Amino acid sequence: MSIEIPREEYLFSGHTGCPGCGAVLAMRHVLKGLGDKTVVAIPACCWSIIAGAFPYATLNVPLMHCAFETGAATAAGIKAALEIRGDTETTVLAWAGDGGTFDIGLQALSGAAERNDDIIFICYDNEAYMNTGIQRSSATPWKTWTSTTPANTPKETPKKDIVATMMAHHIPYIATGSVAYPADLIAKVRKAKEIRGTKFIHILIPCPPGWRHPSELTIKIARLAVLSRVFPLYEIEDGNHRVTVEPDDTRVSEYLKLQGRFRHLDETDIEVIQANVDREWSRIECLSA
Ligand X SMILES: Cc1ncc(C[n+]2csc(CCOP(=O)(O)OP(=O)(O)O)c2C)c(N)n1
Footprint on this chain of ligand SF4 (rule: CB under 6 A) = 17-18, 21, 23, 46, 50, 126, 130, 207-210
Residue 80 CB contacts under 8 Å (≥ 6 apart), including other chains: none
For residue 204, what are the β-bridge partners? Answer: 125, 178
Shortest distance, position 221 Cβ to ligand X, whole Å: 16
Shortest distance, position 134 Cβ to ligand SF4, whole Å: 8
Q: Which of residues 43-102 bind other proteins (CB under 8 A)?
A: 48-49, 51-67, 69-70, 72-78, 80-85, 87, 90
Q: How many CB atoms lie within 10 A of CB 66?
A: 21
Interface residue with other proteins among 8, 9, 88, 107 (CB under 8 A) is 107
Strands (E) located in the chain? 38-43, 63-66, 91-97, 120-125, 173-178, 199-204, 233-237, 240-245
Shortest distance, position 270 Cβ to ligand X, whole Å: 25
230, interface contact from ligand X, other proteins, Mg ion, none, CB < 5-8 Å by kind: none
Spatial separation of the C-alpha atoms in residues 184 and 283, rounded to whole Å? 22
Q: Rule CB under 5 A: which residues touch Mg ion? A: 97-98, 126, 130
Instruction: Please report, as ranges, the residues that interact with other proteins according to CB under 8 A.
Output: 36-39, 41, 48-49, 51-67, 69-70, 72-78, 80-85, 87, 90, 107-108, 110-111, 114-115, 117
